Amino acid sequence: MQKVPMTLQGYDAMTSELKFLKGTERPAIIQAIAEAREHGDLSENAEYHAARERQSFVEGRIAELEDQSSRAEVIDPAKLSGDSVKFGATVVIADCETDEESTYQIVGEFEADLTKRMISVTSPMARAMIGKAVGDVFEVNSPGGTRDYEVVSVTFK
């Protein structure tokens, strides 16, 4: 069984979602199905079919979250240190062509969110920068072509 690395914040968010789905969503769906059944013929009951579809989605999500949490390897980036890029690091990189700087934190797949500048440890960008130190240049193959970046800083918070 392969461990799934994630930060403490990611683990907390996942367990919170799991608790919500099991404690709030699941009972609400069961109630909705019961009410829809009271309306009679199930073959033409749109409310019943919608509730069953929602139940299927929620049960699938619960199974996914339970699997992820059972395999979770929680890593606290604040307890890490070093000069090289690894899981949990917050990395400032500069595009070698434009000198434009970007900041990313390397996190687990479950918690990756590009709008928050959190990239998955399995993403091409993170895989290319893992093991690099400040001043190192690395190459990333992207749909727009190959780009070179330089590691400006590495912090753990």
What CATH code would you report for 4-74?
Answer: 1.10.287.180
DSSP state of 96: T
Say which CATH topology domain 77-155 has: Chitinase A; domain 3 (3.10.50)
Residues facing 146 on adjacent strands: 141
- Tell me the C-alpha to C-alpha distance, in Å, between residue 81 and each of 6, 65, 69, 87: 17, 29, 25, 11
Give the model confidence (pLDDT) of 4-25 as tens digits: 899 988 999 999 999 999 999 9
State the residue for tokens 């917050």. Answer: 90
* Tokens of residue 44, six digits: 């033409």
pLDDT, tens only, 108-128: 988 999 999 999 999 999 999
What is the distance in angstroms between the CA of the first residue and the CA of the last residue of the chain? Answer: 29
Rounded to two decimals, the pTM is: 0.78
**Domain limits, the chain:** 4-74, 77-155
